[in-house]
Chain A
Amino acid sequence: MIDVIHLSKTYHDSQRGEIAAVDDISFGCSSGEIFGLLGPNGAGKTTTLRMIATLLSPTTGTARINGHDIRTQSQQVRASIGFLSSTTGLYPRLTPRETLVFFARLHGMAFRQAKTTTDNLIERFGITEYADVRCEKLSSGMKQKVSIARALVNDPPVLVFDEPTVGLDVIAAAQTLKFVEEYRQREKCILYSTHIMSEAEKLCDRIAIIHRGSLLAIGSLEGLRNQTGKRYLEDIFLSLVSTPLEDLTG
């Protein structure tokens, strides 16, 4: 479902000059799997996900999403993914219902079909009570539910979540994680980026640890434990990021 092949992104920063935000990373994720991208802030997680979602173009390398190349088939890629990030906002002056209809129509649905899909999502996510209230008046938990529903409006085979629980309270974060797990059971391919170790431990089938734009390790939690000799993910992560890159790459 997701094949990332030697993906790199370099950009210019006014203070620091040329920066390699993502440096030659490769990994894959299949349907029914939650693949975690774990790294501290500024590690390159968001840039990677933005390239996969075709919001940014890679400097080198590519990725194939549901068989479509991110460089040459951006429209097909966008039609195959649901993208959600912690920073993604909702149009404040639209209601959740209007938001969902708008995005359903952007995905090519006719108005009647968009309305039916919206009604189903509103019911499934328990949004009914505030479906016709402007988004600017909703709590962060309510907004997150609407955002998740928005990402799923086209029932995509691939879901890309970029730190979806950042800024949420414990209940809203738990609900979000529940939705993610539910969608794994529906055989979706889920790419989940986080810097919260407990989330990665709880959710992910496989984890890639990313630091300063490079992938340091990929594997299941058990595999990473074996590789580092550490039990907890936090210790695994710290042992990997404190190891000089040269040692890891040989």
Chain B
Amino acid sequence: MKNIFLVYQKELKSFFRDKYTLIYSILFPILLYPLIFWGMSQVFTIQRGSFEKMSYRVGFADHRLPNLIYQILGSEDRFDLFPDLILSDVTSAAELKSMDLDVVVQPARCSSDEMEIRLIYDSASDRSSAARDRLEIILNRLKLIELKSGMLESSEDLPDFDIVEFDLSSTEEKSRYLLGILLPMIMVIITVMGALYPAIEVIVSERERQTIESTLSSPISTGHLIAGKFAAVVTMSLVALILNVVSMLVTIKHTLFMHGDLDDLNFTIPLGAVPYIFLGAILIATLFSAIMILVASYAKTFKEAQSFITPIYAIGIQPAVVSALPGIKFNIATALIPITNISLMFRELIRARFDLVPILVTVGSLALWCTIFLLASRYLLRKESIVLGMDRSLFRWRKRRTQREKGGL
């Protein structure tokens, strides 16, 4: 028992004397996670705010809707009603979109005192689903008031009614919409994770094993050596992405077959989107490989490199989460936000939406960031002190300043 305690005591002493354990196990969660959650709550607030400000365009299938419903819907600021635009038949999500409507209300009188109100919407559209939700809330409230009070002032205009939802989106659209919620975020996370350990391996492990010396004493330029390593990290990241996406799609397909209500969904990525997704994946893999190689080059050991890279990973994947939130659009503004842009681009491509301008802005912006980080890592890894691992530390500038202050060299 005494020996166990002695070992326990020694280990704790070592942990608390290791600045990296202290920083990344204790200080990091204390400071970083509240920051991440604060950031995320800000995004949620903005997103909710934009949803609340959003007004929905409502069309009607005929004139038979009771006047009271027109009046109540008309009094809502968030509805733009188009009662004069009478639609004979809306049969597809594309038609709804072409008429620039979010939802269509179609009354159907079943008898003199009973009717059905059909809400025709597109479940593969955040806007249309939100419009349907809002309409449903208002109509249900109206129904509740009617039931409670027994009769409204103009009850003759309002027969008993049922609300029926009619989803225009096809199975394919629905499947891609669902896939577009989670897959882009997961794709970014996998790409980043795929680069993480290879980046440490090619830089830090090689230095730890001291194999870099023998390679560098051969007639190979440092630039070529780094380029070879870099290409290997990017490849590993892409391989991880491809294998994980394929595995995920196969798993989803076979798991959902077990659920009766979901087995008609077909989770596939549109073929036309694959080259764009691959290009995006190369860019994101390149960007994170460059960042991770850059950071790993300052680490003395594998453990230290892991400590340095963990915060980058934790922070880096946060912007990708945005694509899972409803109502966030892929436009020029969001295409300029690194990581968020690629996640949104993946989402749109999975949903078979090819909006070329934001795609080009995303590719251009990521290519610029990649170039910056590649040049920075090339500059850094050409320094002999970094390549051979001599006297480098993230805190070196601080030590130098302290020495100068003390009157040292």
Name A's B-contacting residues (CB within 8 A). Answer: 11-15, 17-18, 50, 53-57, 75-76, 78-79, 81, 83-85, 87-92, 103, 106-108, 147, 150-151
Over the window 73-105 of chain B, the binary record of Cβ atoms lying under 8 Å from chain A Cβ atoms (1 yes, 0 no) is 000000000000000000000000000000000
Q: From A150, which residue of chain B is reached at the shortest CB distance?
A: B214
Query: Which of B210, B220, B385, B396 makes the CB contact (< 8 A) with A87?
Result: B210
- Are the C-beta atoms of A78 and B219 separated by less than 8 Å? yes
- Complex alpha-carbon distance, A78 and B211, angstroms: 16
Q: Is B18 an interface residue (CB 8 A)?
A: no
Q: Is B64 an interface residue (CB 8 A)?
A: no
- Complex alpha-carbon distance, A114 and B213, angstroms: 21
B-side interface residues, number (CB < 8 Å):
24
Over the window 192-234 of chain B, the binary record of Cβ atoms lying under 8 Å from chain A Cβ atoms (1 yes, 0 no) is 0000000000000000011101111111110000000000000
- Are the C-beta atoms of B391 and A11 separated by less than 8 Å? yes
Would you give the shortest CB distance from A153 to chain B, in whole angstroms?
9
Q: Is B335 an interface residue (CB 8 A)?
A: no
Residues of A contacting B391 with CB < 8 Å?
11-14
- Are the C-beta atoms of B217 and A57 separated by less than 8 Å? no
Residues of B contacting A92 with CB < 8 Å?
209
Q: Is B388 an interface residue (CB 8 A)?
A: yes
Residues of A contacting B221 with CB < 8 Å?
75
- Contacts known (A11-B391, A18-B409); A79 close to B213, Cβ less than 8 A: no
Q: Is B390 an interface residue (CB 8 A)?
A: yes
Q: Is B384 an interface residue (CB 8 A)?
A: yes
- Contacts known (A17-B409, A55-B384, A87-B210); A107 close to B219, Cβ less than 8 A: yes
What are the 4 A-B residue pairs with the smallest beta carbon separation, nearest first?
A17-B409, A83-B217, A89-B209, A106-B218
- Are the C-beta atoms of A91 and B211 separated by less than 8 Å? yes
Q: Is B63 an interface residue (CB 8 A)?
A: no
- Are the C-beta atoms of B396 and A14 separated by less than 8 Å? yes
Q: From A86, which residue of chain B is reached at the shortest CB distance?
A: B210
- Complex alpha-carbon distance, A15 and B408, angstroms: 10
Q: Is B399 an interface residue (CB 8 A)?
A: yes
Q: Is B393 an interface residue (CB 8 A)?
A: yes
- Contacts known (A13-B391, A17-B408, A85-B213); A103 close to B384, Cβ less than 8 A: no
Residues of A contacting B211 with CB < 8 Å?
88-91
Name B's A-contacting residues (CB within 8 A). Answer: 209-211, 213-221, 384-385, 388, 390-391, 393, 396, 399-400, 403, 408-409
Q: From B406, which residue of chain A is reached at the shortest CB distance?
A: A17
Residues of A contacting B399 with CB < 8 Å?
14-15
- Complex alpha-carbon distance, A11 and B391, angstroms: 9
- Complex alpha-carbon distance, A84 and B217, angstroms: 9
Interface majority SS (helix, strand, loop, mixed), chain A:
mixed
Would you give the shortest CB distance from A83 to chain B, in whole angstroms?
4
Residues of B contacting A83 with CB < 8 Å?
213-214, 217
- Contacts known (A11-B385, A13-B391, A55-B388); A88 close to B214, Cβ less than 8 A: yes
- Complex alpha-carbon distance, A167 and B102, angstroms: 76
Residues of A contacting B218 with CB < 8 Å?
78, 103, 106-107
Residues of A contacting B209 with CB < 8 Å?
89, 91-92
Q: From B209, which residue of chain A is reached at the shortest CB distance?
A: A89
- Are the C-beta atoms of A89 and B393 separated by less than 8 Å? no
Q: From B403, which residue of chain A is reached at the shortest CB distance?
A: A17
Residues of A contacting B384 with CB < 8 Å?
55-57
Residues of B contacting A50 with CB < 8 Å?
213, 388
Would you give the shortest CB distance from B395 to chain A, in whole angstroms?
9
Which of B215, B218, B391, B409 neighbours the largest number of chain A CB atoms within 10 Å of its CB? B218
Q: From B218, which residue of chain A is reached at the shortest CB distance?
A: A106
- Complex alpha-carbon distance, A172 and B340, angstroms: 58
- Are the C-beta atoms of A55 and B217 separated by less than 8 Å? yes
With A12-B400, A84-B214 known, 15 other A-B pairs at CB within 8 A are A11-B390, A11-B391, A12-B391, A14-B393, A55-B216, A76-B219, A85-B213, A88-B211, A88-B213, A89-B211, A89-B214, A90-B214, A91-B211, A103-B214, A103-B218
- Are the C-beta atoms of B219 and A87 separated by less than 8 Å? no
Would you give the shortest CB distance from B19 to chain A, in whole angstroms?
14
- Complex alpha-carbon distance, A53 and B388, angstroms: 13
- Complex alpha-carbon distance, A88 and B409, angstroms: 32
Residues of B contacting A18 with CB < 8 Å?
409
- Complex alpha-carbon distance, A167 and B384, angstroms: 26
- Complex alpha-carbon distance, A103 and B218, angstroms: 7
Would you give the shortest CB distance from A76 to chain B, in whole angstroms?
8
Would you give the shortest CB distance from A84 to chain B, in whole angstroms?
8
Residues of A contacting B215 with CB < 8 Å?
106
- Complex alpha-carbon distance, A108 and B219, angstroms: 8
Would you give the shortest CB distance from A52 to chain B, in whole angstroms?
10
Residues of A contacting B393 with CB < 8 Å?
14
- Complex alpha-carbon distance, A150 and B218, angstroms: 10
Residues of A contacting B217 with CB < 8 Å?
53-55, 78, 81, 83
- Are the C-beta atoms of B219 and A89 separated by less than 8 Å? no
Give 14 pairs: A residue, B residue, CB < 8 Å, sorted on A: A11-B385, A13-B391, A18-B409, A55-B216, A57-B384, A75-B219, A78-B217, A78-B220, A83-B213, A89-B211, A91-B211, A103-B214, A107-B218, A150-B214
Would you give the shortest CB distance from A125 to chain B, in whole angstroms?
16
Would you give the shortest CB distance from B283 to chain A, in whole angstroms?
29
- Complex alpha-carbon distance, A102 and B220, angstroms: 12
Would you give the shortest CB distance from A93 to chain B, in whole angstroms?
10
